[in-house]
Amino acid sequence: MSVATLTPEAINYVCTTVRARSAIELDVSKSYLIEARLAPVAKDNGFDSINDLIQALRGQRQLKLESQLVEAMTTNETSFFRDQHPFETLRKTLFSEIKTRNAASKSLNIWSAACSTGQEIYSIAMHLREHFADLASWKVQLVGTDLSDDVLKRAAEARFSQIEVNRGLPASMLVKHFQRNGLHWELKPEVRNMARFMKLNLIERWPPLPVMDIVFLRNVLIYFCPETKRAILEKVRRVMAPNAVLFLGAAETTMGLDAGFERVQSDNSVYYRLK
Amino acid sequence: MYALIIDDSRAMRRILSKIVMPLGLEVVEAENGQDGLDRLEEMEPPEVILVDWNMPVMNGLDFVKTVRADGRYANQKIMMVTTETEPAQMVRALMAGVDEFAMKPFTADVLVEKMKLIGVRLPNPVSSNE
Amino acid sequence: MDLKQRNKWLLYLNTHSWQDHLFWAGREIEREQMIVDVPTMDQIISNVFDEMLCMPTSPSDSGLECSVVGRIVASIRITGAMEKLIVVEAPMATASLIGETMFDAEHDTLPEEEIRDAVGEIVNMIGGNVKGMCEGESTLSLPCVSVENSELSIPDGGEQTIVNVAGSPILVRWHDMPVATV
């Protein structure tokens, strides 16, 4: 495939389309990122270059191709146990707190919004197996959502490359919860079956969700403008149980956006508790 | 504070040094397990040992077993960085006493995250995530 | 992991009978001989160069000149449950480029010894990843690296793939049965 620098018109088209379809603001200065993400889309659809792909899209609106472009541009980078600290907080305080609070219902619901290929929700699943005693007698729902069909499919497969399992995942957990299959590593069924995945675009109508005790919405809000952030946080609040907690990315906050949350500092991590 | 890097390939030692040095650790190199033991005798214990598995003279697994059998190094942080990628081999290394295990090929992120995971103190801890 | 955690681990391993698990895994593999096809090898090569060394790979349509003199030939042997010989052949220009990337060296400044070391580590990583595909117990030899000036001749019965690494070709071939000479 020929390598050609993207034209300003092409970059503009990508940014406009992504903004219209997902409300995400791309950083125009990162045109290399656009090239890296869109090269496979162009190749898979038989185009010689990204410029050709975009020219075709501009000539005639093709919804499926457009979706592929938006998905490729909005897929989150992810790794197992990303940032570590939220998982420490789960282990040290939140798991035991929920065990007491939900002792009667024995139910626990956790949501990974923008779950990408599933590393976050599966990290939570493995973490529960290690640190949540009596797990077997509880009804646990782990839900991963994303706007990309492609990553949801991969998340449900729970097959990861060597590079992916090398990142962030302790070797002790790798040998315990995964099995090798050729070049790939597959989560064992008992962990894989703990999570389910569904399509959800944060700025569109949401499918019904269980009432959540813990929500992970990390490194997602950074892409949106303040109004959209507010709207998303309000909707998130409505699916949260009383006293439920929300984890955001390190560069994100509810402060100044939504007064319904209280900021809690716990060891090295920060989370937001529903008031 | 320094990292002891044990690998028979000079190219690999260079790659590992290039990742570790910007984090603020100095580097001491050794080219096999025996050489690594000799370096340890000469110096204060390192902040972390990164050790390959397949090496001439003394392999990494025997090196780890020897170090762990020595009471002075009971809490020494050791990470194996190797082309061995079978779960069975990983279990063997963990049982011999390594704290973490990274498979080659790796990226800089992998090593930095795994060092943080086992509590290696890094004078310049760059965020590998953003 | 501190000592306490490590001991917890040993306890876990002892109570969960890893030996049994490995035994049965080994049985299964014996039944279905592990096949390393070209796409799999290309993926391994890509992991080494694209991911680790940030050297972009692409399929080569031109092939490796048979008359290339001054090739670095690095081989490694897998013995045990899996029996394979893996060989990386790199024209000196490609080998230098790989060496310069791994050693972070200026163009044309790297001694041949370092270039050989670098290509040796490449075949080591490829060999380790191939070996890892088979759960039965196998051993990886140390890499053997030489400079070949004779014409390129590919022994029968093996498979091969030619990949451009940062625009320069390398050839990787692998044979199911161990062969006596490289």
Q: Which residues of B touch A168 (CB under 8 A)?
A: 113, 117
Domain extents in chain C? 1-32, 37-181
Interface confidence, given as ipTM, is: 0.91
Q: Residues B86-110: pLDDT tens digits?
A: 999 999 999 999 999 999 999 888 9
A136: which DSSP letter?
Answer: G
Q: Residues B39-71: pLDDT tens digits?
A: 999 999 999 999 999 999 999 999 999 999 999
Residues A79 and A170 sit within 8 Å (Cβ to Cβ): no
CATH code: domain C37-181 is: 3.40.1550.10
Inform me whether the C-beta atom of residue B15 falls under 8 Å from chain C C-beta atoms. yes
Q: Residues A259-272: pLDDT tens digits?
A: 999 999 988 889 99
pLDDT top residue among C34 and A64: A64
Q: Which residues of B touch A170 (CB under 8 A)?
A: 100, 117
CATH code: domain A85-274 is: 3.40.50.150
Inform me whether the C-beta atom of residue B97 falls under 8 Å from chain C C-beta atoms. yes
pLDDT for C66: 53
pLDDT for A61: 82
Is the CATH number of domain A8-72 1.10.155?
yes
Reply yes or no on whether the pLDDT at A3 is more than 60. Answer: no
Q: Which residues of B touch C99 (CB under 8 A)?
A: 11
| Residue partners of A77: CB distance under 8 A and separation at least 6 | A116
Say which of A166, A168, A172 has its CB closest to residue B103.
A166
* Interchain pair A163, C135: CB under 8 A: no
* Interchain pair C132, A172: CB under 8 A: no
Inform me whether the C-beta atom of residue A256 falls under 8 Å from chain C C-beta atoms. no
Which one, of B43, B48, B59, lies nearest residue B20 by Cα? Answer: B48
A196 to chain B, closest Cα gap in Å? 26
pLDDT confidence of C110, banded at 50, 70, 90? very high
Reply yes or no on whether the pLDDT at C15 is more than 50. Answer: no
Residues B2 and B46 sit within 8 Å (Cβ to Cβ): yes
Second-level CATH architecture of B2-117: 3-Layer(aba) Sandwich (3.40)
Inform me whether the C-beta atom of residue C9 falls under 8 Å from chain A C-beta atoms. yes
pLDDT for B98: 97
Domain extents in chain A? 8-72, 85-274
Global pTM reads 0.81
Q: Which chains touch C (3 or more CB pairs under 8 A)?
A: A, B
Q: Which residues of C touch A180 (CB under 8 A)?
A: 132-133, 135
Please tell me the distance from the alpha carbon of residue B64 to that of residue B4, in angstroms, as a whole number.
Answer: 13
Q: Residues C19-78: pLDDT tens digits?
A: 444 444 444 444 345 678 999 999 999 999 988 998 888 888 776 665 566 889 999 999
Residues A261 and A246 sit within 8 Å (Cβ to Cβ): yes
Say which of C22, C52, C134 has its CB closest to residue B107.
C52
Residues B48 and B78 sit within 8 Å (Cβ to Cβ): yes
Q: Residues B16-36: pLDDT tens digits?
A: 999 999 999 999 999 999 999
Six token digits for residue C15:
């109570």
